[in-house]
Each structure stands twice: as C-alpha cells, then as structure tokens.
Homo-oligomer: A and B are copies of this chain.
C-alpha cells in the first residue's frame, strides 16, 4: 500500500447515491479511498447501531476505490465495520456524504451522515460530514467542489482535536455565489411535526412523519442557519458530549 492518506468514505443515502460518488471522486485526489456504505437509504437513522439483528457486507465495484463494500447496517455500523473488521486499522480521515439535504442545526441528531462522522471521531479519526441543502436526486454537487477540497486538504494537514468532527453544510448556490466558509455553532431549532394520516387498501390507518423546521434564533449571527441563509458554507465543530454543562449546578437530588 502507498503512503498516501487512507480515507474512509461513507454516507447515509446508500452506496449508489450521487452524493457519495461525488465525494469519493473528490477524496481520491487526496488519498487512497475505501468505501463502506449502506446497501440502502438510511436517512434519519441517527446514531442507531444494529444489535438485535445480524449484519452482512458485500464487495462492490461501483466507485474507484482501493476497497469497497456495501453493508446491511446503519451508517454508524458502516464505520465500525470498516475500522474494526475490513481495515483492521484507523484510516487517516473519515468523510461522510455528500448528503442529499441539510444536516444543519438540530438535524445533526437525526442525521445518519453526521452520526457516521461522529462515530469516526469517537474511533479517534479526524472526520467530516458533508451535506448539500438540496434534497433532489439531481442535486449539483460540483458547485461546492473547491470548498470541499479545501476543507479536506486542511483537515489532512492540521488534524482535529480528539473526539471532534466537522458538520459541513453547503447552501444550494452556484460556485460563484458561495461567499466562503464560516465556522459557527449549531443553531437552536426544532421540527414541528405533523403526522399525515392515510388509510391502506384494507381500511387500516397508517402515518407518514412530516414536519416543518423552526429556527428559534433567526437573528443570531454565529449559527449555521445564519451562515447558510447568507450564502456561506457552515462548519460546526461537533462532538458527542451531551452533558448540559451550563446547568449542571442547578440540579441537586441529595
């Protein structure tokens, strides 16, 4: 094996999604790539892992990669499987995406794309999740190419603090209209849900989860939502400590 960086590429839209093809192509400029990605769409899987059923992997040759496997599990399973079984070593970088749709703000906790990057960081590897704010299967991933290259190149050069990964969201804009890259925090926001109620052909009720995104702080200038609305790529350094440190002292049960 060469001395080029070893880059693990994964996603949550599945191994055949246009977004991972675009990302694998960009990554191959910087190192040898290994693709381990879900064998079917796994959007909204969050940090799910497969513990109540078995996992299968299958060699595939869809991307130009050193090794490539589709995996029956979740995005987090893919990273665990790649690092602990397929590679049996830590890659130099884990990249996930490019997701078809935003993973900014509170979406980060529902996102399979970002959970794969968080898992990469937990395994001790600099990791980045990329998402384009365009859900279309025809989304144009090429417009942000030079920015993605810059973020990958700088991360390979400078590394990442232990346990931290990057949540990169890209506005749906032409290359010349992207104003640059802003390092920001996750905006406070939520989804207001509605369940679309339908009847199946047998008269039984079923539901589709739908909802509307609500930004609780549209005027804050230091958030990912602000950056995206104002033509910037947002980069949120992200980690898996969920402790609400600022209110720890407010509780006492003794």
Contact surface of A with B, Cβ cutoff 8 Å? 41, 43-52, 54-57, 73-74, 76-77, 80-81, 83-85, 106, 108-110, 115, 118, 122-123, 150-151, 154, 161, 163-164, 166-167, 180-183, 185-186, 188, 190, 193-195, 197-198, 204-209, 235-245, 247-248, 250-254
When chains A and B are docked, how far (Å) is the Cα of A85 from the Cα of B207? 10
Residue among B55, B76, B207, B236 making CB contact with A54, cutoff 8 Å: B207
Main secondary structure of the interface of A (DSSP, over half): mixed
Kindly list chain B residues whose C-beta atoms are within 8 Å of the C-beta of A52: 41, 43-44
Determine whether the beta carbon of A122 is less than 8 Å from that of B110. Answer: no
Q: Given A84-B195, A238-B242, A244-B161 in contact, is the A55-B186 Cβ separation under 8 Å?
A: no
Kindly list chain B residues whose C-beta atoms are within 8 Å of the C-beta of A239: 242-244
Determine whether the beta carbon of B41 is less than 8 Å from that of A115. Answer: no
Kindly list chain B residues whose C-beta atoms are within 8 Å of the C-beta of A84: 193-195
Q: Given A238-B244, A242-B118 in contact, is the A253-B154 Cβ separation under 8 Å?
A: yes
Kindly list chain B residues whose C-beta atoms are within 8 Å of the C-beta of A110: 47-49, 76
Kindly list chain B residues whose C-beta atoms are within 8 Å of the C-beta of A123: 190
When chains A and B are docked, how far (Å) is the Cα of A238 from the Cα of B248? 9
> A27 → chain B, closest Cβ, in Å?
17
Determine whether the beta carbon of B81 is less than 8 Å from that of A195. Answer: yes
Determine whether the beta carbon of B55 is less than 8 Å from that of A44. Answer: no
When chains A and B are docked, how far (Å) is the Cα of A208 from the Cα of B110? 24
Kindly list chain B residues whose C-beta atoms are within 8 Å of the C-beta of A118: 109, 242
Determine whether the beta carbon of A243 is less than 8 Å from that of B185. Answer: yes
Kindly list chain B residues whose C-beta atoms are within 8 Å of the C-beta of A241: 185-186, 188
Indicate the member of A47, A84, A150, A242 with the most B CB atoms within 10 Å. A242
Of chain B, the residue at the smallest CB distance from A210 is B51
> A109 → chain B, closest Cβ, in Å?
5
When chains A and B are docked, how far (Å) is the Cα of A73 from the Cα of B206? 11
Determine whether the beta carbon of A115 is less than 8 Å from that of B193. Answer: no
